[in-house]
Amino acid sequence: MVCVLMLDAAQKAAGPGSMPQHTSNAPAPGNTANAHPDLKPPRLLYLATEGRTLLEYGWYLQSLLWLRTLPKGDGHPVLVLPGFTTSDATTGALRRFLRSRGYRAYGWRQGLNLGLKPGLEIKMTRRLRDLHHRHGRRVSMIGWSLGGIYARELARQNPEFVRQVITLGSPFNHSPRANHAWRLYEKLASDKVEEQAERLSGLEKPLDVPSSAVYSQTDGIVAWQCCLQEEGTEAENVQVYGSHCGLGHNPMALYVIADRLAQSENHWAPFDNGGMRRLFFRSPPGARSQDTEPRPAQAVSKLELAAR
């Protein structure tokens, strides 16, 4: 559904003779949303090939036996947040995979994700806290695309309830228009992307919990540079090969997710892409590591401000 909507929106926006160009040089992670206003959406060629998600789902089905050999976890709860214009139905394969690895996987139960509507943050926070209290354990969050933006802000405001955050193709960094979805977002969410980006500025900054940003350089919806975070002692970027719409069932992305979630709660380490793994997982160009100081909790949530 989302791929069809994105393609339709992009074709209307492009008009005859218009062809947004993909930027090959990656800006250094850690800039604010407006730091690179000239960053372009992915090439329309990549957008047109988002149908790869069907092939990736077939790959997922063929890989089920292999996926069952991946590490099992300790059974802690995992909350999965869907992308823009999608619902829990699109994260079903991901949640089934998580349950096969022993986790208590949950959807967000908010219906279609049509942007940051008033009251949505309160509902998501309640969902997060309910899972924490039900299991008596901190909750890992996996956010796909726009869901990853929500996950990062929820973790920033509620670190005591969150174990770690994993984002899948989430454009929380750089230009808010470096994607093929911004016009549709403004229409459905009744909000300007620049105004929301300003209210949610700083999402790329380190969290107080471990975080992994999974992305693809052949993403057809968002510029992959927007999916990178500042790397630090508990923050990393992991590149996989695939489409934007297929990240939730891409076997390589699932491999990364299983590897990240299986770590002990208090002994997080960066993803090891050495050896043979280097054939499938690469570090982003210009990636750098740096020690970061914990960010103090904010009195008012940026998501709450954006919903006002």
pLDDT tens sequence across 153-177: 999 999 999 999 999 999 998 788 8
Q: Name the one residue in this structure whose structure tokens are 């620049």.
A: 194
CATH for the stretch 38-288+300-307: 3.40.50.1820
Measured CA angle at 34 (ends 143, 19), to 5 deg: 85
Q: Is the pTM of this model over 0.85?
A: no
- Coil, strand, or helix at residue 173? coil
Residue 192 or 205, more confident: 205
pLDDT greater than 80 at residue 297: no
pLDDT greater than 50 at residue 99: yes
Token code pair at residue 41: 């959406």
- Residue 37's pLDDT is 58
Look over the chain and give the mean of its residue pLDDT values, rounded to a whole number.
Answer: 82
| Distances, alpha carbon 99 to alpha carbons 89, 91, 177, in Å | 16, 12, 36
Q: Does the CA dihedral 154-155-157-159 come out positive or negative?
A: positive
* Distance between CA atoms of residues 104 and 102, nearest Å: 7
Token code pair at residue 147: 């869901």
Mean pLDDT of 167-190: 86
Measured CA angle at 110 (ends 105, 111), to 5 deg: 105
Share above pLDDT 90 across residues of the chain, in percent, rounded to a whole number? 61
- Residue 277's pLDDT is 84
* Distance between CA atoms of residues 183 and 160, nearest Å: 36
Please check whether residue 221 is in contact with residue 145, taking contact to mean a CB–CB distance below 8 angstroms: yes
Tens digits of per-residue pLDDT, 228-245? Answer: 999 999 999 999 999 999
Q: What is the residue type of 76?
A: H
* Distance between CA atoms of residues 198 and 260, nearest Å: 31
Token code pair at residue 135: 């299991």
